[in-house]
């Protein structure tokens, strides 16, 4: 039913979790004929019957076997039965080999029957466990598959040190089920403890209470006392050392990267303090960073207490540290107040992108703030030009789709622009007060788009009836595109770049004569991204020899330049292109580059580089890029 026909939804201000007790998505739901609209509060990307059972706590005991590329051991789930119905407990799995299942209470565990349901290509395989009525715990012995979708096993040569293997997980959106059998839906929050057994020379870290002083004896114990959704379960194992950056902040990295990372991200503690001042206390104790090898498929992942970070943002000049502000901001928007299903992702990412900009302004000033916002706006425009109407809707219909394939800037930048418009209309101070109350009101809950809309109606809309318009807000959230008259972020630092680019394009000034001495990274990016589709070979050579773009050490600049090089067939940059695509696995770069190669008639070259590089890519990177290169039927 449509959002306005939601009689069963809980009052947003009630102290109960703001999600329905309906199943996250039963097998029937996942395959049922589609009605017009997805049902609010239903997670179509989980088999778990969360209306019958809730997992409350998980104890993991896992051995990390680098030779076989498997995690092997036991997951013990503490469960709460919600109904008297004689139903099996249904958990999400993907590629797991289940050895045995026991159930019971108070330590008295007995073997129980279990079956694996039919495998869905997007969702994995439901694990159905027959539970005695008295059972309060279920213990599953299992092992992961070497090609688990949420785990990447790296060879030593893929690391900075080149001597030790490395492992990391990436659970968002629906990959936790590929390394732990559980209710893999953001509607369910769990606390967890874990014992992780590793080769003795390696350190394990998790989205939990990491101890830099832990003995290096191959056994690491963790506890995560704050309840988190399954997509925030995270583990990494490698040759890792720790360096503090502030009282509550520090960085874990391979020794080769540790000092550079700590210097690049030294403002993290100030960011943390600045965010607390406006949006309320940081509720996760410590905030540390983990620097991953370059195959990590995202810029960062907001794993609580320990954000996972790509090394591609260590630029040497703090030009790319907005990523840290972003992951930190998730400690409020996303990790504290969580989207109830992947349809509601904009609640996580739109709020986080808005907060990121505010943190950047606070730490680095107005000009940086405006430039970051204007670049974000350009990303949004590019995605709006590129997507079908349905995918421009913030509360997107994802039924029957793989979330990884739909991922875009829309929930990030459109969500953020929407909040920026609200801020402009009600005033910054009032909007900050609204956000502070919102975070407190929904802390440690998972909410739907409709919960947010109801809350807005009772708060900001009621307080500012003359400034805000309910129909316009509905349009922002449920319609494609951007409502007419929406703010357009601009920056004076960019406005002065336009005439320079224009003069150069007209041949009125040589590239070597452009005074770039005070240009920031953002201005360089704006200069390059604003180039026309087609440039001549002479123009490309002139730019390259004046600014040495093919050799740029800044990965964002290199990316912008390589996009120009690909679409203009500028061959002197192709060796760098090949190296870039082979060494880096960040999809923000890889997807547009591979798409650009295919669209510029270089499918063969794309396939050749991809085939050579893919052994080093993350499973998610392989999946989304092989579709780009080989089309929908790619294996
Ligand atoms: C509209 C799409 C709806 C649902 C998709 C949900 C998750 C997509 C899945 O692929 C996981 C995404 C994880 C993202 C993690 C961090 C991002 O903020 C990184 C952004 C890109 C980058 O900077 O590299
Ligand atoms: Zn994010």
The predicted-structure confidence for 366-384, as pLDDT tens digits, reads as follows 999 999 999 999 999 999 9
200 CA distance to ligand 2 centroid (A)?
34
Q: What is the CATH topology of the domain spanning 240-331?
A: Zincin-like (3.30.2010)
The DSSP output letter for 299 is S
pLDDT at 13: 26
**CA distance linking residue 628 with residue 623, whole number of Å:** 9
**What's the CATH code, domain 337-492?**
1.10.390.10
pLDDT at 24: 61
Closest atom of ligand 1 to 412 CA is: 18
pLDDT at 5: 28
407 CA distance to ligand 1 centroid (A)?
6
pLDDT at 3: 28
**CA distance linking residue 188 with residue 172, whole number of Å:** 14
Pick the residue whose CA is nearest to atom 5 on ligand 1. 403
Using a 6 Å cutoff on CB, does residue 268 contact ligand 1? no
pLDDT at 25: 53
Pick the residue whose CA is nearest to atom 13 on ligand 1. 172
Q: What is the arithmetic mean of pLDDT over 296-322?
A: 98
Pick the residue whose CA is nearest to atom 15 on ligand 1. 301
Query: Are 89 and 49 in contact, with CB atoms under 8 Å apart?
Result: yes
Which ligand is nearest to the Cα of residue 356, counting in written order?
2
State the burial class of residue 515 (Cβ atoms within 10 Å of its Cβ: 0-12, 13-18, 19+): exposed
pLDDT at 186: 98
Among this protein's residues, is 412 annotated catalytic? Answer: yes
Q: What is the arithmetic mean of pLDDT over 230-235?
A: 99
The DSSP output letter for 44 is T
Percent of the chain with pLDDT over 70: 94
The predicted-structure confidence for 94-153, as pLDDT tens digits, reads as follows 999 999 999 999 889 999 999 999 999 999 999 999 999 999 999 999 999 999 999 999
498 CA distance to ligand 1 centroid (A)?
31
Mutating to test ligand 1, I would choose from 168, 170, 289, 300 the residue with most ligand atoms within 8 A of its C-beta, which is 300
Does the 48-238 domain belong in CATH 2.40.110.10?
no
Question: How many helices (H) and strands (E) would you count in the chain?
Answer: 21, 21
Long-range (24+ apart) CB contacts under 8 A made by 501-509 are 501/527, 501/530, 501/531, 505/531, 505/532, 505/539
- Residue 152 pairs in a beta bridge with 168
Q: Where are the beta strands (DSSP E) in 295-412?
A: 300-301, 306-309, 337-339
Indicate if the pLDDT at residue 391 is higher than 70.
yes
**CA distance linking residue 201 with residue 215, whole number of Å:** 11
Indicate if the pLDDT at residue 628 is higher than 80.
yes
Chain region(s) in the chain for CATH 3.30.2010.30: 240-331
Chain region(s) in the chain for CATH 1.10.390.10: 337-492
Using a 6 Å cutoff on CB, does residue 142 contact ligand 1? no
Structure tokens at 310: 């790509």
Using a 6 Å cutoff on CB, does residue 297 contact ligand 1? no
CA torsion through residues 424, 429, 432, 436, sign = negative
Mean of per-residue pLDDT scores for the chain: 94
| Sequential DSSP letters for 450-485 | HHHHHHHHHTHHHH-TTT--HHHHHHHHHSSS--TT
Show the CA angle centred on residue 169, arms to residues 88 and 608, nearest 5°: 115
Structure tokens at 527: 């200069």
State the burial class of residue 492 (Cβ atoms within 10 Å of its Cβ: 0-12, 13-18, 19+): exposed
Query: Are 555 and 312 in contact, with CB atoms under 8 Å apart?
Result: yes
pLDDT at 29: 52
Closest atom of ligand 1 to 620 CA is: 10
Indicate if the pLDDT at residue 216 is higher than 60.
yes
pLDDT at 316: 98
Closest atom of ligand 1 to 411 CA is: 1
Q: Which of 192, 279, 377, 412 is catalytic?
A: 412
Answer whether 0.80 is exceeded by the pTM. yes
Query: Are 3 and 41 in contact, with CB atoms under 8 Å apart?
Result: no
Using a 6 Å cutoff on CB, does residue 407 contact ligand 1? yes
**CA distance linking residue 61 with residue 74, whole number of Å:** 5
The predicted-structure confidence for 535-594, as pLDDT tens digits, reads as follows 999 999 999 999 999 999 999 999 999 999 999 999 999 999 999 999 999 999 999 999
Closest atom of ligand 1 to 410 CA is: 1
173 CA distance to ligand 1 centroid (A)?
8
Q: What is the arithmetic mean of pLDDT over 220-228?
A: 98
Q: What is the arithmetic mean of pLDDT over 166-193?
A: 98
**CA distance linking residue 354 with residue 489, whole number of Å:** 12
The answer to the question of whether 172 is labelled as a binding residue is: yes
Does the 493-630 domain belong in CATH 3.40.50.300?
no
> 387 in helix, strand or coil?
coil
Q: Which of 102, 327, 392, 413 is catalytic?
A: 327
The predicted-structure confidence for 433-468, as pLDDT tens digits, reads as follows 999 999 999 999 999 999 999 999 999 999 999 999
The answer to the question of whether 76 is labelled as a binding residue is: no
> 174 in helix, strand or coil?
coil
Structure tokens at 183: 């209710």
Pick the residue whose CA is nearest to atom 8 on ligand 1. 404
CA distances, 563 to each of 406, 559, 589, 590 (Å) = 22, 6, 9, 10
Using a 6 Å cutoff on CB, does residue 299 contact ligand 1? yes
CA distances, 312 to each of 180, 323, 429, 430 (Å) = 29, 11, 35, 37
171 CA distance to ligand 1 centroid (A)?
11
Chain region(s) in the chain for CATH 1.25.40.320: 493-630
| Band of residue 35 on the pLDDT scale cut at 50, 70, 90 | confident
Is the link from the previous residue into 173 a cis peptide, with omega within 30 of 0? yes
The answer to the question of whether 583 is labelled as a binding residue is: no
| Band of residue 14 on the pLDDT scale cut at 50, 70, 90 | very low
State the burial class of residue 334 (Cβ atoms within 10 Å of its Cβ: 0-12, 13-18, 19+): buried
For the chain, give the number of residues: 635
**CA distance linking residue 257 with residue 277, whole number of Å:** 31
| Band of residue 36 on the pLDDT scale cut at 50, 70, 90 | confident
CA torsion through residues 353, 357, 358, 364, sign = positive
Indicate if the pLDDT at residue 15 is higher than 50.
no
Ion ligand 2: protein residues whose beta carbon lies under 5 Å: 349, 352
Task: Report CA dihedral (255, 256, 257, 263) to the nearest 10 degrees.
Answer: 90
159 CA distance to ligand 1 centroid (A)?
23
Using a 6 Å cutoff on CB, does residue 54 contact ligand 1? no
The predicted-structure confidence for 485-534, as pLDDT tens digits, reads as follows 999 999 999 999 999 999 999 999 999 999 999 999 999 999 999 999 99
């Amino acid at each position: 039913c449509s959002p306005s026909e939601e009689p069963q939804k809980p009052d947003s201000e009630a102290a109960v979790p703001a999600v329905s007790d309906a199943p996250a998505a039963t097998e029937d739901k996942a395959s049922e004929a589609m009605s017009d609209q997805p049902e609010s509060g239903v997670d179509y990307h989980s088999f778990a019957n969360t209306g019958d059972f809730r997992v409350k706590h998980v104890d993991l005991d896992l051995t990390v076997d680098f030779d076989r590329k498997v995690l092997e051991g036991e997951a013990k789930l503490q469960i709460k039965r919600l109904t008297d119905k004689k139903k099996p407990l249904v958990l999400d799995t993907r590629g797991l080999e289940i050895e045995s299942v026991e159930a019971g209470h108070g330590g008295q565990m007995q073997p129980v029957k279990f079956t694996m349901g039919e495998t869905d290509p997007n969702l994995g395989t439901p694990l159905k466990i027959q539970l005695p009525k008295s059972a309060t715990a279920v213990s599953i012995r299992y092992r992961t598959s070497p090609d688990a979708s949420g785990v990447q096993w790296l060879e030593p040569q893929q690391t900075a040190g080149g001597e030790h293997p490395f492992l990391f997980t990436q659970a968002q959106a629906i990959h936790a089920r590929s390394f732990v059998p559980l209710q893999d839906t953001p509607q369910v929050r769990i606390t967890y403890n874990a014992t992780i057994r590793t080769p003795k020379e390696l350190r394990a870290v998790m989205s939990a209470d990491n101890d830099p002083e832990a003995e290096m004896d191959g056994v690491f114990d963790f506890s995560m006392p704050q309840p988190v959704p399954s997509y925030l379960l995270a583990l990494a194992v490698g040759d890792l050392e720790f360096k503090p950056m502030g009282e509550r902040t520090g960085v874990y990295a391979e020794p080769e990267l540790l000092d550079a990372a700590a210097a690049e991200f030294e403002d993290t503690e100030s960011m943390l303090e600045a965010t607390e001042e406006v949006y309320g206390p940081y509720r996760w104790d410590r905030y540390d960073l983990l620097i991953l090898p370059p195959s990590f498929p995202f810029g960062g992942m907001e794993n609580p207490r320990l954000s996972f970070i790509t090394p591609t943002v260590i630029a040497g000049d703090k030009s790319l540290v907005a990523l840290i502000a972003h992951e930190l901001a998730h400690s409020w928007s996303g990790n504290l107040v969580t989207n109830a299903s992947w349809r509601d992702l904009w609640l996580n990412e739109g709020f986080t992108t808005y907060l990121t900009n505010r943190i950047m302004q606070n730490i680095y000033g107005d000009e940086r703030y405006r430039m970051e916002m204007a670049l974000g706006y350009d990303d949004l425009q590019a995605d709006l030009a590129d997507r079908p109407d349905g995918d421009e809707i913030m509360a997107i219909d994802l039924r029957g789709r793989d979330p990884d394939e739909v991922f875009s800037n829309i929930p990030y930048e459109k969500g953020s622009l929407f909040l920026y418009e609200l801020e402009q209309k009600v005033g910054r101070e009032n909007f900050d007060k609204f956000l502070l109350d919102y975070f407190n009101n929904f802390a440690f809950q998972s909410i739907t788009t409709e919960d947010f809309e109801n809350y807005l109606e009772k708060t900001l809309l009621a307080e500012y009836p003359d400034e805000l318009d309910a129909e316009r807000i509905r349009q922002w959230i449920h319609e494609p595109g951007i409502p007419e008259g929406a703010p357009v972020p601009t920056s004076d630092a960019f406005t002065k770049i336009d005439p320079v680019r224009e003069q150069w394009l007209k041949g009125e000034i040589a590239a070597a004569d452009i005074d770039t001495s005070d240009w920031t990274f953002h201005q360089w990016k704006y200069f390059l991204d604003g180039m026309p589709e087609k440039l001549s070979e002479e123009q490309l050579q002139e730019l390259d020899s004046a600014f040495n773009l093919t050799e740029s050490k800044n990965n964002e600049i290199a990316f912008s330049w390589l996009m120009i090089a690909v679409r203009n067939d500028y061959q002197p940059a192709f060796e760098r292109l090949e190296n870039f695509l082979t060494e880096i696995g960040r999809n923000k770069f890889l997807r547009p580059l591979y798409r650009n190669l295919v669209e510029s008639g270089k499918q063969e070259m794309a396939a050749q580089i991809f085939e050579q590089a893919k052994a080093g890519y993350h499973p998610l990177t392989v999946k989304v890029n092989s579709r780009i290169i080989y089309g929908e039927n790619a294996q």
